[in-house]
Amino acid sequence: MNNFLVSLKKFFTNKNTVTVIGVIAILGLLYWGYNSTINSQVQPIRVPVANQTIQPRTLITDDMIRFIDVPTVAINNNVIRNQTSIVGKYTAVNTVIPEGSMFFNNVLINEEDLPDSAFTAVKDGERPYALSVTTETTYGNSIFPGNKIDVFMKAVDENGQIMVGRLLAQVEVLAVKDSSGNNVFEDTSANRTPSTLLFGVPEDVYLLLKKAEYLNSFGVELFPVPYGGTTPVEGDLVVDREELVDFIESNTVSFSESTDTPTDVPGGNAGNE
C-alpha cells in the first residue's frame, strides 16, 4: 500500500505528468465552452413571422401572423419576439413585409405616426401641388415618384388659336395618387389608377398654377411630359414660359391666397367646370 502511495505521489509530482494533465484539463474546458456556445446559438426560439405579404400602411392583425422556430443566432435586437407587440401596429410607408419574414421594430409604427412621405419630402419654402392626371396623360401610368417631369400648358387665346408651351421644367414627382388619395405604386397587389401627381413648388409658382386651373373659359389644360420630352399635344402656336405666365396673369385679375381661389376672372367662369 505504501509503495502504491509513493508511486502515485511521484506520478503527480512529475513535471511532465502535471503538464499533460494541465493540457488535458484546458482542452476539456475549451471543448465544454465551445459546445455550450454552439448549443446556445443553435437553440431554437419561437418567433412570429408574416403568413402573407403585408403592404405598406397596413394594420397588422392576428390572422397575418404565424410562428416558426429559428436558431437564436438568427435573432437580433431588432426582431420582435411576441405577438402583442405586433398586432395593432401599421407597416411603415414604403415598407413591404414579405411572406415568411420576421417582424422588425423599425418597420412597424403606430397609426398616429403614419406620415405622408410625399408631404414630408416637400422642401422648405415650397408648397405641395397636386396636378390632375389620367392614365393616358401619365403615359399609361409610367410616371413614378422620383421621376422628373415638365409641366406643359395648353390654352385658347383671344383669337381662338390653340397655344402650347412648357410652364415648368424639371419638376420632381413626389407621389402618384389615385382619386382616394392612395399612393398608386405603394400597394403592389392593387391596380390603382393615377389621379394626381404631387410635387413641390415655390409659393409664387403655386399661385400661378392655381390661377391657371380656373381659366376654364380659355380651355386651359396642364399636363405632364417626361423631362426633356416632346409634348404629344399639338397647337397653332408654340409659346415660351413668359408668354404663358403673361397670359395667366392678364386673364386673372386678383387672387385670394386664403382660399386659393381667383376672385375675379374675365368671362365669369372662375371655378366652374
- The mean pLDDT of 9-38, rounded to a whole number, is 63
- pLDDT confidence tier of residue 270, bands split at 50, 70 and 90: very low
Q: Does the pTM of the predicted model rise above 0.75?
A: no
pLDDT at 258 over 80: no
DSSP the chain: -HHHHHHHHHHHH-HHHHHHHHHHHHHHHHHHHHHHHHHHHH-EEEEEEESS-B-TTPBP-GGGEEEEEEEGGG--TTB---GGGTTT-EEPTT--B-TTPBPBGGGEE-GGG---HHHHTSPTTEEEEEEE--TTTTTTT---TT-EEEEEEEEE-TTS-EEEEEEEEEEEP-EEE-TTS-BTTT-TT--PPP-EEEEEEEHHHHHHHHHHHT-GGGT-EEEEEETT---S---SEEE-HHHHHHHHHHT--EEETTTTEEEE-TTS-TT--
pLDDT greater at residue 189 or residue 150: 150
Residue 33: predicted pLDDT? 64
All domains of the chain in start order, with CATH: 44-113 (3.90.1210.10), 117-264 (no CATH)
Mean pLDDT of 172-191: 86
Structure confidence at residue 9 (pLDDT): 57
